[in-house]
Structure 1
Amino acid sequence: MSLHVAVLMGGWSAEREVSLLSGTGIAEALESLGHRVTRIDMGRDVAQRLADAAPDLVFNALHGTPGEDGSVQGLMDLMGLRYTHSGMATSVIAIDKLLTKQALVPHGIPMPGGRIVKSAELFAGDPLPRPYVVKPVNEGSSVGVAIVTAEGNYGNPILPDATGPWHEYPELLAEPFIRGRELTTAVLAGRALGVTELQPRSGFYDYDAKYTDGMTEHLCPAPIPDAVAVACKGIAVEAHRLLGCRGASRSDFRWDDGQGVDGLFLLEVNTQPGMTPLSLVPEQARHLGMSYAELVQAIVDEAMQDRALEHHA
């Protein structure tokens, strides 16, 4: 069935450029499948542009705020529009790393401990024993992540003139640093696609490493014990279910390979995972024999089915 799909991309978050890449790829795939596509680079007039387009479905290709935090989802709910990926309540919780812990840890999902700290407090002393990680509570794509090591890479305590997220965000989430390896699992329509290990060629898996070709090696499937792969998939599917995710999600893990399955910790769940040529969800789908266009169509199909069921509930 041919649909009129509005692809919502861009916006004004720190992840704008990645969203534009995702949206362009999605739009081209939809057109190759015979759908009519309206591309919308989101501005403050997004409600009017969506109303003018009057699509059968909105494919949400936004990353970060306000496209991933429930704001756009709430707007589209009010407008009665069908859209891909997770709804408002799920998006509000999943983009907030502390709320995610509160939603998942009581159900047995292993996540690192942590607490919110005022950024200015970091200049007086460490909130946790080094090494530890500080990150914004509600950004994605490793935006604003800093690893504070025993070597005092930012000063000891952190120096006020040291470059870091403490200058951009009034509050940060501080977590113990988990040594080991970076793993990620995509979930599509409640099914885990695979496990990928990410090996940055230098430093850690930050924003640049994620989106610059050649900076990170993707090992898919990850060269890890079967028990750890099974655990990754199981945790990712359960987190997707507990949070109420729809469409595609991606769960990111750290695995201390000296601890076996007990060393596996979920870091976050991304409700709007990237769909660029370097992105992990298309890569895992491809490993299962699913083309990029087939992946896009599967996300569309689930969204149309879910919203139709809601409409008749």
Structure 2
Amino acid sequence: MTAVAPPRLSDPRAFGCVAVLLGGSSAEREVSLDSGRNVLEALRARGIDAQPVDGIPALIEGLRERRFDRVFNILHGNKGGGEDGTLQGLLEALGVPYTGSRVLGSALAMDKIRSKQVWLALGLPTPRYARLAKGDDVQAAAHALGLPVIVKPACEGSSVGVSRVFDDAGLAGAVELASRYPGELLMEQLVVGGEYTVGILGDLALPTIRIVPAGEYYDYHAKYQAEDTQYLCPGLDDAGAEVEMRALALAAFRALGCSGWGRVDVMRDRDGNNHLLEVNTAPGMTSHSLVPKAARELGIGFEELCWRVLETSLADGGAA
């Protein structure tokens, strides 16, 4: 088992009053509310003075009144969410410590197109893709990549707006669905193989998880509602392959300027090649979520995980 250093703090009073920022107005609001409730309960169980705050406007009001000393950010998504760098910039400007990635890492990770551009520039593997603007020839893009392809919003998470397209007839519907969300569209090659995820906690890549949905795909239902999705941890039987994927995930996380904690999603094709999909800088903390499952493999329970994530807000591991 990977050696894990003990938590840095033992006194819950050292954190002051913590705003658990949840909910918001993004397409992932319900997931964020669920995650936030779990985090709030865990922090309070450890003696931390933690208070729920629904959305950024409510947080601003609380900060003006000096009610909070730091922020545990569990907002998901971009529009009204807390993962695109907007919230991080606000908190940096106000000098308020917070969990997770800084401004640049949050913004790059939320934008899947820019993430790919950074990874490709550094020689890190990711599926071939096309950036789709309004009016582009979608059929030509799909043929250039080679069907089947994935079509999705470039700046959403939780499988929101994602379609798998196997022929020309499915392209129009996929584009229409993805276009309901703000930002550009991303089309990428569909990788046939196993779906994996790697949690990141500080400088540590957690054990891999292989995701095996009962249905054909790991969609929103399989992620947050289904009870028959299997999660195999560690996800790889071969020790060398396990080390390789975890190292790749940590490299991808750092390449985007991410820090603190997060989750890296990876596809492994039938030839054993890894392909980076995306980085999540405020991963889910629901009963179905993956970072807690991986942390448990290292003996880190949910309450301790939340404590350790909160430690990423400290001056030498988070915002000043």
> One fold, TM greater than 0.5?
yes
What runs of 5+ residues in structure 2 fail to find an aligned partner?
Answer: 1-10
Q: Offset at 1:55?
A: 1.7
> Would the aligned equivalents of 1:119 and 1:167 in 2 still touch at CA under 8 Å?
no
Partner of 2:72: 59
Partner of 1:228: 241
CA distance in 1, matches of 2:196, 2:189: 17
What runs of 5+ residues in structure 1 fail to find an aligned partner?
Answer: none
CA distance in 2, matches of 1:161, 1:271: 26
Aligned letter for 1:133? I
Normalised TM-score (structure 1): 0.90
2:83 aligned with 1:68: yes
CA distance in 2, matches of 1:107, 1:288: 30
Q: Choose which of 226, 241, 244 in structure 1 pairs with 2:254.
A: 241
Q: Choose which of 152, 156, 162 in structure 2 pairs with 1:135.
A: 152
Q: Offset at 1:39?
A: 0.8
Aligned residues: 303
2:302 aligned with 1:292: yes
SS of 1:19 mapped into structure 2: helix
Q: Offset at 1:163?
A: 6.2
> Would the aligned equivalents of 1:135 and 1:174 in 2 still touch at CA under 8 Å?
yes
TM-aligned CA distance change 1:20 to 1:291, over 3 Å? same
Q: Choose which of 176, 185, 188 in structure 1 pairs with 2:198.
A: 185
> Would the aligned equivalents of 2:163 and 2:174 in 1 still touch at CA under 8 Å?
no
TM-aligned CA distance change 1:180 to 1:55, over 3 Å? same
Q: Choose which of 156, 166, 177 in structure 2 pairs with 1:149.
A: 166
Partner of 1:38: 51
- Using the TM superposition, name which of 272-281 and 105-114 deviates more: 105-114
CA distance in 2, matches of 1:40, 1:166: 30
Aligned letter for 1:179? V
CA distance in 2, matches of 1:171, 1:100: 13
Q: Offset at 1:56?
A: 2.0
> Would the aligned equivalents of 2:73 and 2:82 in 1 still touch at CA under 8 Å?
yes
Q: Offset at 1:240?
A: 2.1
CA distance in 2, matches of 1:298, 1:226: 27
> Would the aligned equivalents of 2:311 and 2:317 in 1 still touch at CA under 8 Å?
no
Alignment of 1:103-114 (within 5 A): 103-114=118-129
CA distance in 2, matches of 1:227, 1:119: 44
Aligned letter for 1:61? I
**In the TM superposition, what whole-angstrom CA distance separates every residue of 1:81-122 from its partner, at most 9, and x where no partner exists?**
000001111111110011111222222211112121135546
SS of 1:142 mapped into structure 2: coil
Partner of 2:99: 84
> Would the aligned equivalents of 1:123 and 1:160 in 2 still touch at CA under 8 Å?
no
Aligned letter for 1:74? G
Q: Offset at 1:267?
A: 0.5
CA distance in 2, matches of 1:61, 1:18: 10
TM-aligned CA distance change 1:32 to 1:206, over 3 Å? same
CA distance in 2, matches of 1:101, 1:126: 17
Q: Offset at 1:57?
A: 1.4
Q: Offset at 1:10?
A: 0.2
- Using the TM superposition, name which of 182-191 and 111-120 deviates more: 111-120
Identity %: 38
Q: Choose which of 166, 178, 184 in structure 2 pairs with 1:165.
A: 178
TM-aligned CA distance change 1:135 to 1:113, over 3 Å? same
CA distance in 1, matches of 2:134, 2:215: 27
CA distance in 2, matches of 1:235, 1:162: 31
**In the TM superposition, what whole-angstrom CA distance separates every residue of 1:67-87 from its partner, at most 9, and x where no partner exists?**
100111111112110000011
> Would the aligned equivalents of 1:10 and 1:41 in 2 still touch at CA under 8 Å?
yes
TM-aligned CA distance change 1:160 to 1:274, over 3 Å? closer
> Would the aligned equivalents of 2:151 and 2:186 in 1 still touch at CA under 8 Å?
yes
CA distance in 2, matches of 1:161, 1:54: 45
Tell me how large the CA RMSD over aligned residues is. Answer: 2.2
SS of 2:314 mapped into structure 1: helix
CA distance in 2, matches of 1:131, 1:222: 25
